[in-house]
């Protein structure tokens, strides 16, 4: 029980929580970039990042004089997204239009670590389930038809003995429903970015479905997105 309390305490600080949410875009950030995103000093950022690294939520990489941090892995990302889903909805409107627009864009479509989330992610999850590619019977699993689809549509084959689960659910903090994570979610997100079915908006987590993406999602999954 003490380990649960210790992990929870890492996210109880507003600055540390802000850092973790920023890192949900799946990329590595410098301490300076995170300090600016949270509006704190470099010394404060360094202290709080050290706590997150020691607590196992973040991993550190050094290149020359630069210190980069990223989420420690999919499990850390799932934890942060799940905690965010329990947070009460904001009761007041954002104070500036850029922030308001960013929040709206992230609710429509965004990355959650290395998979797609928001309305887009939930819609694609529903489509894969309705087409029998993913089954909810006795827990979430990829069907034989789903494995064939992954190989044919995305060129992905799950390695034998892989530690990462092929598929798992991830509770979406804006939709309050689940989108798909695991290797399936990662493959779909990576392919979508590589083939430009979606493109990133600015430096945050928000993505936008392209016309080519809307057509591909419709043809491959029967999903109407855009």
All domains in the chain, ordered by first residue: 2-72 (1.10.10.10), 97-221 (no CATH)
Distance CA 139, CA 124 (A): 18
Q: What is the pLDDT of residues 121-133, one digit of tens each?
A: 999 999 999 999 9
Q: For the residues 70-82, what does the mean pLDDT come to?
A: 84
Q: For the residues 25-43, what does the mean pLDDT come to?
A: 88
CA angle 81, 84, 85 (to 5 degrees): 90
Contacts 24+ apart (CB under 8 A), 96-104: 102/202, 102/204, 102/206
Q: For the residues 192-197, what does the mean pLDDT come to?
A: 97
In the predicted structure, residue 99 carries a pLDDT above the cut 70? no
101 pLDDT band, cuts 50/70/90, is: low
In the predicted structure, residue 89 carries a pLDDT above the cut 80? no
Who has greater pLDDT, 59 or 24?
59
In the predicted structure, residue 95 carries a pLDDT above the cut 80? no
Please say whether the beta carbons of 174 and 121 come within 8 A.
no
pLDDT value for 94: 38
In the predicted structure, residue 194 carries a pLDDT above the cut 60? yes
User: What pTM, to 2 d.p., does this model score?
Assistant: 0.71
For residue 208, give both structure tokens. 């936008």
Distance CA 178, CA 158 (A): 22
pLDDT value for 90: 46
For residue 29, what are the contacts with CB-CB under 8 A and spacing of at least 6? Answer: 22, 23, 37, 68, 69, 70
Who has greater pLDDT, 95 or 213?
213
């Amino acid at each position: 029980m003490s380990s649960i309390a210790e992990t929870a305490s890492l996210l109880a600080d507003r600055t540390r929580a802000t850092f973790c949410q920023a890192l949900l875009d799946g990329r590595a950030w410098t301490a300076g970039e995170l300090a600016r995103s949270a509006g704190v000093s470099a010394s404060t950022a360094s202290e709080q990042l050290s706590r997150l690294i020691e607590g196992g939520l973040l991993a550190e990489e050094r290149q020359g004089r630069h210190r980069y941090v990223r989420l420690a892995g999919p499990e850390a990302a799932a934890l942060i997204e799940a905690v965010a889903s329990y947070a009460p909805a904001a009761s007041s409107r954002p104070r500036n239009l850029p922030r308001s627009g960013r929040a709206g864009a992230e609710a429509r479509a965004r990355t959650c670590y290395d998979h797609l989330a928001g309305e887009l992610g939930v819609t694609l999850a529903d489509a894969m389930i309705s087409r029998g590619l993913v089954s909810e019977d006795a827990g979430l699993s990829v069907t034989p038809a789903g494995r064939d689809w992954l190989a044919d549509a995305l060129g992905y084959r799950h390695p034998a003995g892989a530690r990462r689960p092929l598929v798992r659910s991830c509770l979406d903090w804006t939709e309050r429903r689940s989108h798909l994570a695991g290797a399936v979610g990662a493959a779909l997100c990576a392919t979508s970015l590589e083939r430009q079915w979606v493109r990133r908006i600015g430096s945050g987590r928000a993505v936008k479905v392209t016309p080519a993406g809307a057509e591909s999602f419709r043809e491959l999954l029967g999903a109407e997105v855009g």
